[in-house]
Each structure stands twice: as structure tokens, then as C-alpha cells.
Amino acid sequence: MGDSLLIIEDERLLGTELERYYRRQGWETTLVDSLHKARQALLHKQQEPLVVLADMSLPDGNALDLLEEVGTDRRHVGEWIFLTGYGEVPDSVRALRLGAFDFLTKPCEQERLDLVLAGAARSAKAQRRLRDEASQMARRYSPQSFVGHSSAAHNVREVLTKLTAVPFSALVITGETGTGKGLVARILHHGGARGEGPLIEVNCAALPRELLESELFGHEAGAFTGAKGRHRGLMEQAHGGTLFLDEIGEMPLDLQAKLLTAIEDRAVRRLGGDRVVPVNVQILAASNHDLTARIADRAFRADLYHRLSVVRLELPPLRERKEDLDDLVPLYVAEFNAKAGKQVRTIPESAWQALKQHDWPGNVRELRNVIERCVLFAGGPSLPTEWLQLGAGGVTGGSHRPMTEGDMLHLPLDGSMRLEDMDRYIIETTLKRHDYNVTATARALGTTRNTLRYRIQKYGLTAP
């Protein structure tokens, strides 16, 4: 079946010739000779032509009125081309303002009409592809994606359902590491009015201050050493969509002030630039820290917090909703069965008991990693309990433990210790050696202070 073309033309001879010609070119063509019939086809029969080729002046009205009418219906994502025997400027201006692809004056050469029609078809296909992708993401990231039958999970879904139905400028998501702040941000974006716009995510703790400023606000060529060309910042890239600022509590204070100005003015100025660029962005900010406590410590600006916290959403830790394990564990088993080609079908009672006794300091992220490991190492249809490794430091059932001997660390490589646990153990041991001095610890580990701070926060390695 070819691409669909609706021709609205009251001149019978011209309309018939166009219909016959484009049908031979492989188009699935429909011809109507009045505004009433076109309206019936588009709004009542719910046809969705890829391209509409319309005469401007019809016996029962102006085709521009129909374009304006169907433009409010989100189902119709097609391009319109207008033909008219009277090329009046006001009509052409109105046509382009309403989003028409082109405005041609009769008589129009067939070769030119073919080129314009081909361009309109490419544009309409691109728009439909974006609409379909947005629709798929909206189905994937619905409020029901926050899985669980506990009252805490139900309350979160209830709030998410309300938020996706209303426009809001900013929101703060709080909760421990691994509680699903990234998932909630995607639900709010893809399920809301900005779902067809871009979702730009940035981890404020993962980038050093100079790079974070350039990434957020962009820069002009020559703004600093190595800036060879213009770079559009993430706020510009998120125009018409959502900017998700994860770990916003780690953003330096001077950048917090600049971010507040950009949000208030709805505009950014690139580094080294003298021009203000308007932006229309919805801000989602997340933190696993208590931002009010950071305000008291003068580590976070109160005015930025109050500007961002139009709505505040706190996600419960997994240890407070352990009944949701009944929903989450089978879900992850099915996911990793599909990815790894495994056939895990049963979960032993001993595994359920271990899962429900664990406090889950890493929350849902930790649970997902545990189930992934178990499924990957499963040798049959039963989930292997020995690979849960839910004891202290993530080690159970292993024959070896990490050890410190002088300036040497000994780590087991028998599968009894996860890579993440090794990373945590190395950092924690080195911190203790240097009395929790971040600078000295970073120097000893050969890394930067920013990278080390991010890992300290990730693992919750605070000084006693």
C-alpha cells in the first residue's frame, strides 16, 4: 500500500487528472470536491493522509479554515500543500502561520508540484515517526511503571498521575540512592504535555565545575582554551522539553545562581557570548540529600530551592515497602531471562526469605543488580540462592573476604564479591587511612576530588 494523499479540488477535470497521475505514481489517492466532504473524511471517517493537496477557494468555504480546524486534533500529523488561482499575500501568510508546507499558484508545473509533494511526504513521515516514538515512550513510562502494590507505591503513582495531567515549570524529586528518581523523571516527561519534546539528562556530580557550566549553558568559539566552535548547551537542547538535573545538590553555588537566573529569565547566555537565547524548559531536579539541610549548611541556595520546589515528590526506600518485592522480583527475573536467554521459573522459599530480610541500602537499583546476577549464573529453572550475596558488604556464602595487609588490599576473585562492593571497600578503607580527608584520599587513589565525592555520596561513606 502506497502513501496516502487527499486531494481537495472542485475543478473536476483537474482533480481527476491529479488523482489518476498520483495513483500511477504509487500514492493511495482520495479525491473530494468540497470542504464538507473533506471534513467528513478527516474528522468523521478519521482518515490520516500523509499529504493533503488542497485548492484554496472551494464552493463551500476556504480550505485554510479546515486546516485550522484539524490542526487542533493531535491524530492528524500530515503536511498540507495549497493551490490557488489567486495568490494573495494575506492567504499565503495565514497558510504558513497555520503550518502549511507550501503555497503554490495555479497553474503549477507538474515537475515542481512533484518536488514539493515529495518534500512534504518526507517531512510528514519524520513527524509521524517522532509522534509514534513519543507514543511508545508514553506507554513504556506511564505512572504504572512505578511497580508495587504497597500503599507507598500507590501514593507515588497517584501523584504521578496528577502531575502528568497538569503543566508545571519545576519539580524536586528526593529519595535515597536507587529509589527510582530517574524512572520518575522519565514518567513525568513522557507522560506529560512535553512528551514529544526532548528529555535531556545531566548528572551534576559527575562533571567538574568548568565542564558543567559549559555543558549546561553552552559556549561560543574561543570562550576558553580548546573551545574551537560553538556549542549549544543542554538547556538550549532541552527547549520545548524537559531538563533533568540529577544530583543537583552537588552543583557549585556560583552555577546555582546562574541556573536560577536562566530559569527566571527563561533565557541563557552562552560562555563568551553576548546574545541571550530564549529557552522554554521544564526543570526536574533530583537529589538523594536533604536539600533543606544543605541550605542550612550554606551548600545550596534557598532561592533556587524555592524556585525549583513548585512540587516536591519524595520516593520511599525499598525497606519501607518490602511487600513490593512480590511484584518487582518476578518482573526482573522475566527481564533478565529475556536478555540472557535463561529459563528461571521458580524462586525458592529460602531466596524469598533472604530477599525480605535484607534492608536494601541500595534500594531498587540494588535489587535489580542482585536479580541480574542470579539469573546470569542460574544453571536451571530455579533462582540460585547462593548468588544473592546479601550479607555484610554484599558477601554471603563466599569462602574469602577482603583483607587489608599493610599498604596492600586483598580482594577475592571467586565471584563472592561484586565489582561495586570492591570499589566501595577500596574507597572506604582509604578514607579511614586518611581520617576521611577527601583531598588526601583522592591523591592516594589517583583520582579527582569531584569523582571521589560522587562515589562517597553514592556509597554513603560519611565520617563517623
CATH number at residue 445: 1.10.10.60
Among 412, 379, 375, 376, smallest CA distance to 394 is for 412
Percent of the chain with pLDDT over 90: 45
Q: Residue 415: which region, alpha, beta or left (left: phi > 0; alpha: psi -120 to 50)?
A: left
Domain that holds residue 54: 4-137
Q: pLDDT confidence of 405, banded at 50, 70, 90?
A: low
Rounded to whole angstroms, the Cα distance separating 76 from 70 reads: 7
Beta bridge partner(s), residue 231: 219
Which of these three, 85, 106, 137, is where a domain ends?
137
Burial (Cβ within 10 Å: 0-12, 13-18, ≥19) of residue 138: middle
350 lies in the same domain as 463:
no
Q: Do residues 167 and 277 share a domain?
A: yes
Per 3-state DSSP, the chain is made up of helix, strand and coil in percentages (nearest 5) of 50, 15, 35
**Shared-domain flag, residues 75 and 172:** no
pLDDT tens-digit map of 51-70: 999 888 888 888 888 888 88
Percent of the chain with pLDDT over 70: 92
Q: What is the pLDDT of residues 343-370, one digit of tens each?
A: 999 999 999 999 999 989 889 999 999 9
422 and 367 both lie in a single domain? no
Which CATH number does the domain housing residue 29 bear? Answer: 3.40.50.2300
Tell me the pLDDT of the chain averaged across its residues: 87
* pLDDT of res. 325: 95
The three three-digit cell numbers of residue 462, written as one number: 560519611
Residues 386 and 278 in one domain: no
pTM of the model: 0.71
Dihedral, CA atoms, 316, 318, 320, 324, nearest 10 degrees? 110
The span from the CA of 371 to the CA of 391, in Å, is: 15
Using a 10 angstrom Cβ sphere, with 0-12 exposed, 13-18 middle and 19 or more buried, the burial of residue 379 is exposed
Please name the residue ranges forming H helices in 247-362. Answer: 253-265, 291-296, 302-308, 325-340, 349-357
pLDDT of residue 222: 79
